[in-house]
Every structure is written in C-alpha cells, then in structure tokens.
Amino acid sequence: PPPFTGVWMGDRKVCAIGVHCGHHITSHGLALNCCPDLSWFQHIVPCGLAGMGVTSLSQELGHPVPVEQVLVPFLQAFQEVFHCTLLCSDELG
C-alpha cells in the first residue's frame, strides 16, 4: 500500500525493491519471494515496516514456485517494461 515501495498483496510484501546511494556509488536491486522459509521473517521487522507481513508466490498460489520457474518469465517481462536487452555474464566474455 502507498507509500511503501515494493510489490504488495494486500498488507503482505511479496517483492522488495531497494536503492542505496553512498560514496558516489548507487546500488539497486530487488528480491522476489518465490519459495522462502517465511518463518524467519517472524524474527525481524521486514523492511522496517512494523505490523506489515511478508508473503511469497508459493504461499499465495498454494503450491511450490521455485526460482527456476519464475526467472525466465520475470526477465522477459523486465525487458518489455524497461525497453532493454539483458545480457548474461557468460555473454559478456
């Protein structure tokens, strides 16, 4: 829910998005919860958001969703949305 970043399913975060700037370097990334052990999130305040939950694709869909199943469709969608071409590190030589 606004103004929180990431991808939410109701009041549960399924994907975290982050940007860090420091020492003239910008880092960014995302974490899509496919099939993690969600019990570990009971020991922390995820993303510093007290009272909000964490979920995964596996939990929401009711069956295991391994990263390998999500990776290719995710990368294809990323390229479409951001009008770019992604390269694997193997392709960079």
Proportion of the chain in helix, strand, coil states, percent, rounded to 5: 35, 25, 40
Exactly one of 15, 34, 47, 84 is catalytic; name it.
47
Report CA-CA distances (Å) from 39 to 11, 56, 70.
Answer: 17, 12, 22
CB 44 within 8 A of CB 53: no
47 a catalytic residue: yes
Distance between CA atoms of residues 74 and 58, nearest Å: 15
Question: Would you name the residues annotated as active-site residues?
Answer: 47
